[in-house]
Chains A and B, each alone.
Chain A
């Protein structure tokens, strides 16, 4: 199985900051990498697929990059509604696997 490792596990930031979350796969997954945002008590929301393609309706402040084993999610100009938990997920091969999550806190 492909292991997905996110860092950091938690991150403190302020409104207006720019933050970066990293995700590393235990083996190459090309660009079959997605990023999700989850707020407490809510379903996850897709932000990015194909490592760098923005989902429809997602603001351009979110951006993704990477290929192979190393990936990043960058959020610019943090707003209060961006404070949430973020997960990466590989869909290169089954079983699909998620990172452990990064909790973005004020």
Chain B
């Protein structure tokens, strides 16, 4: 059974940083691209970033480019999202999702940016 478990969210002040994690199980992690998708309160889904299985290539939405960094540790079956220079508009539930087609999703972790 595929499982994705995000953690690392919380309340952070504007300009602050967080590192989100997503621990995967139930599939061969290193062979799958992974994505982060976020959802602001009461809003729709926004794709944030993706990384291929080897970790060699990454992709970002323009809204986060230069502030967010996606990475993965295939030895630990873990996906990361380092988020810096946080803004109020980054407040959202952050989900990790498996594969290009986003076949499976985690339960999400809430990031709140507020002073």
A98 to B103, CA, bound (A): 15
Q: Is the CB of A55 within 8 A of B102?
A: no
Q: Evaluate contact between B47 and A44: CB separation under 8 angstroms.
A: no
* Shortest CB distance B84–A (Å): 19
Contact assessment for A95 and B102 in the assembled complex, using a CB-CB cutoff below 8 Å: no
B: interface residue count bin: 20 to 34
How far, in whole Å, are A5 and B60 apart by their CA atoms in the complex? 21
- Asked if A94 and B101 make an inter-chain contact with CB atoms under 8 angstroms apart, the answer reads no
B61: which A residues are within 8 A, CB to CB?
95
> Do residues B47 and A98 form an inter-chain contact, with CB atoms below 8 A?
yes
A34 on interface, CB distance cutoff 8 Å: yes
Can you list, as one digit per residue, whether each of A95-106 has a CB less than 8 Å from chain B (1) or not (0)? 111111100000
- Taking residues whose C-beta sits less than 8 angstroms from the other chain, chain A's interface range is 20 to 34
A71 is an interface residue with CB less than 8 A from chain B: no
Q: Is A18 an interface residue (CB 8 A)?
A: no
Chain A's closest residue to B93 (CB) is: A43
List chain A residues, Cβ under 8 A from B59. Answer: 94-95
Q: Are A96 and B35 in contact (CB under 8 A)?
A: yes
Contacts A95-B62, A96-B50 given; indicate if A43 touches B105 (C-beta within 8 A): yes
Query: A-side binding surface: helix, strand, loop or mixed?
Result: loop
CA distance A50 to B37 in the complex (A): 19
Residues of A within 8 A of B108 (CB): 43
Q: Flag B75-103 by CB within 8 Å of A: 1 or 0 each.
A: 00000000000000000000100001111
Determine the chain B residues whose CB is within 8 A of the CB of A43 once the complex forms.
95, 105-108
Query: A63 CA to B14 CA in the complex, in Å?
Result: 44
Q: Does any Cβ of A come within 8 Å of B11's Cβ?
A: no
Is A39 an interface residue, CB under 8 A from the partner? no
Any A CB within 8 A of the CB of B27: no
Q: Can you list 11 A-B contacts with CB-CB less than 8 angstroms, sorted by A residue number?
A: A38-B45, A43-B95, A43-B106, A43-B108, A44-B45, A44-B105, A46-B104, A89-B102, A95-B61, A98-B44, A101-B45
